């Protein structure tokens, strides 16, 4: 049952196994936090024919088809462009009207649902209002990037971060089973740096993502979450050496420019942090200490959550 291996996230597992996931749900979490795995798991569990064992059983016809990614009543919608347009949602709506092939209902998984533009979200809202028995699972990095009207109709499940010990065990098993040789030290390091995101841990190992870029990605994701997340991200950045912290600043400023374009409603915050980081680069050049700078960054950002 390799593909259904979903670490942690007991709330999703339990709800799906009991058929009580909800008919429109949001799985929210940063890149690499296992949203797609969780959705595949939940869809299989909902349609599993075994009533006695833990669903998904992995053995019934439905589970075997789901595992192979070939279940006729599970549709994975992947955006093929920069955003999901209203026509895409209309197609999805048409499909939801069709009778399921073999199951009591259909499951639709919409990847990167946060890429739905306003018009698409309003069209989607209509789909949710229809008396259909289908289950819709929306995957997005941040539930708050969806319209409140859509969000309020969905049950939100936030992906749980995986603790370093479980991440280490997962990575050790993964690379023991593959022909890739990865040292134990690299696995431990990736498990620590990934902050609960297995996808990120794999990127650190396989794409050689640097400590600085992992810390920058973490900081940027934290900025959209809450004060505690930002404090944790800054604490992690404070462990970088001077060169790495310089790279961190560079990556963060690049990410902020992109974020400001993608989410204009938060532009003010992104620009303020951008300016602060630019100042930090000068202080770093003037021999400012990394620990102190990361601390200042944390304090600076904390202001945004107290308004
Ligand atoms: Zn089954």
What value does the mean pLDDT of the chain take? 89
Ligand 1 center to residue 138 CA distance, Å?
A: 23
Residues 32 and 145 placed together within one structural domain of the fold: yes
Same domain for 136 and 16: yes
Domain stop point among 128, 158, 188: 158
Q: In angstroms, rounded to a whole number, what is the distance separating the alpha carbons of residues 252 and 36?
A: 26
| CA nearest neighbour of 111 among 7, 49, 13, 34 | 34
Domain end position, chosen among 112, 141, 158: 158
Tens-place pLDDT, residues 11-52: 999 999 998 999 999 999 887 888 999 999 999 999 999 876
CA of 76 to the centre of ligand 1 (A): 19
- For 46-53, the CB contacts below 8 A with 24+ separation are 46/16, 46/19, 46/21, 46/105, 46/107, 46/135, 47/71, 47/73, 47/74, 47/103, 47/107
Kindly give the distance from the C-alpha atom of residue 6 to the centroid of ligand 1, in angstroms, as a whole number. Answer: 16
* Ligand 1 centroid from CA 104, angstroms: 14
pLDDT at position 111, please? 94
Same structural domain, 93 and 206? no
Separation of 173 CA from ligand 1 center, angstroms?
Answer: 24
Which of the listed residues 158, 192, 211 is the one where a domain comes to its end?
158
pLDDT at 201 over 80: yes
State in Å: Cα 31 to ligand 1 middle.
28
Kindly give the distance from the C-alpha atom of residue 163 to the centroid of ligand 1, in angstroms, as a whole number. Answer: 29
The CA 153 to ligand 1 mean position distance, Å, reads 29
Q: Do residues 179 and 141 both lie within one domain?
A: no
- CA of residue 172 to ligand 1 center, whole Å: 28
pLDDT at 1: 42
pLDDT at residue 198 greater than cutoff 60: yes
Q: What are the tokens at 85? A: 């347009």
- Kindly state whether residues 122 and 221 are assigned to the same domain: no
Closest CA to 76 of 29, 110, 45: 110
Residue 199 and residue 128: Cα distance in Å, rounded?
Answer: 30
Q: What span, in angstroms and rounded, lies between the C-alpha atoms of 74 and 69?
A: 8
- Ligand 1 center to residue 34 CA distance, Å? 21
Q: Which pLDDT does position 204 carry in this prediction?
A: 85
User: What one-character-per-residue DSSP string does 159-222 give?
Assistant: PPPPPHHHHHHHHHHHHHSSS----HHHHHHHHHHTTT-HHHHHHHHHS---HHHHHHHHHHHH
Same domain, 186 and 276: yes
pLDDT band at 156 (very low <50, low <70, confident <90, very high): very high
Distance CA 136, CA 123 (A): 14
Distance (Å, whole) CA 74 – CA 134 = 10
Distance 307 CA to ligand 1 centre (A): 49
pLDDT above 70 for 157: yes
Domain ranges, residue 222: 164-306
Are 264 and 229 found together in one domain? yes
Distance 21 CA to ligand 1 centre (A): 17
Report how many domains make up the chain: 2
**CATH number of the structural domain spanning residue 20:** 3.40.50.300
The answer to whether 9 and 160 are in contact (CB under 8 A) is: yes
What is the whole-number distance in angstroms between the Cα of residue 64 and the centre of ligand 1? 7
Through-space distance between the first and last CA atoms of the chain, rounded to whole angstroms:
47
Query: Are 142 and 173 in a shared domain?
Result: no
> How far apart are alpha carbons 13 and 6 in whole angstroms?
8
Residue recorded with tokens 């895409």: 88
Q: Are residues 106 and 205 in the same domain?
A: no
Is residue 143 domain-shared with residue 267, that is, in the same domain?
A: no
Task: Report the largest interatomic distance among the alpha carbons of the chain, rounded to a whole angstrom.
Answer: 68
CA of residue 245 to ligand 1 center, whole Å:
49
Q: Measured between alpha carbons, how far is 154 from 133 in angstroms, rounded to an integer?
A: 15
Q: Please write the tens of the pLDDT for every residue from 87-119.
A: 999 999 999 888 999 999 999 999 999 889 999
Query: How many Å lie between the centroid of ligand 1 and the Cα of residue 164?
Result: 31
Confidence band (pLDDT; 50, 70, 90) for 297?
very high
pLDDT band at residue 296, thresholds of 50, 70 and 90?
very high
Do residues 203 and 257 share a domain?
yes
37 and 86 share a domain?
yes
Rg of the chain (C-alpha set): 21
Ligand 1 center–CA 221 separation, angstroms? 36
Q: Residue 179: which pLDDT band, with cuts at 50, 70 and 90?
A: confident
pLDDT at 307: 62
Other C-beta atoms lying within 10 Å of the C-beta of residue 174: 18
Q: What is the pLDDT of residues 207-239, one digit of tens each?
A: 877 788 888 988 998 898 888 889 989 998 998
135: β partners: 107
Q: For residue range 58-68, list pLDDT tens digits in order.
A: 889 999 999 99
Give the Å distance between the CA of 61 and the centre of ligand 1.
Answer: 7
């Amino acid at each position: 049952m390799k593909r259904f291996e979903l670490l942690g996230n007991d709330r999703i597992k339990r709800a799906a196994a009991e058929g009580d996931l909800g008919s429109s749900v949001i799985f929210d979490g940063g890149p690499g936090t296992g949203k797609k795995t969780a959705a595949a798991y939940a869809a299989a569990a909902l349609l599993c024919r075994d009533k006695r064992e833990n669903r998904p059983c992995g053995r019934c016809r439905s589970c075997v088809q789901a595992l192979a990614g070939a279940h006729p009543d599970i549709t994975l919608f992947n955006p093929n462009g920069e955003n999901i347009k209203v026509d895409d949602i209309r197609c999805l709506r048409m499909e939801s009207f069709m009778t399921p092939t073999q199951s009591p209902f259909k499951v639709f998984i919409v990847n990167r649902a946060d890429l739905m533009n306003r018009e698409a979200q309003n069209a989607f809202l209509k789909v949710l209002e229809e008396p259909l028995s289908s289950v819709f699972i929306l995957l997005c990095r941040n539930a708050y990037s969806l319209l409140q009207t859509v969000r309020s109709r969905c049950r939100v499940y936030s992906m749980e971060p995986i603790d370093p010990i479980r991440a280490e065990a997962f990575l050790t098993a993964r690379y023991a089973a593959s022909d890739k040789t990865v040292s134990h030290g690299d696995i431990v390091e990736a498990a620590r740096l990934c902050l609960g995101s297995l996808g990120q841990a794999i990127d650190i190992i396989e794409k050689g993502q640097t400590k600085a870029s992992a810390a920058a990605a973490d900081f940027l994701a934290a900025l959209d979450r809450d004060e505690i997340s930002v404090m944790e991200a800054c604490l992690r950045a404070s462990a970088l050496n001077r060169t790495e912290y310089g790279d961190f600043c560079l990556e963060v400023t690049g990410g902020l420019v992109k974020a400001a374009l993608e989410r204009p409603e938060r532009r003010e915050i992104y620009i303020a942090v951008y300016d602060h980081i630019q100042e930090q680069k000068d202080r770093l050049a003037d021999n400012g200490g990394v620990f102190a700078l990361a601390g200042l960054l944390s304090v600076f950002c904390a202001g945004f959550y107290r308004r």
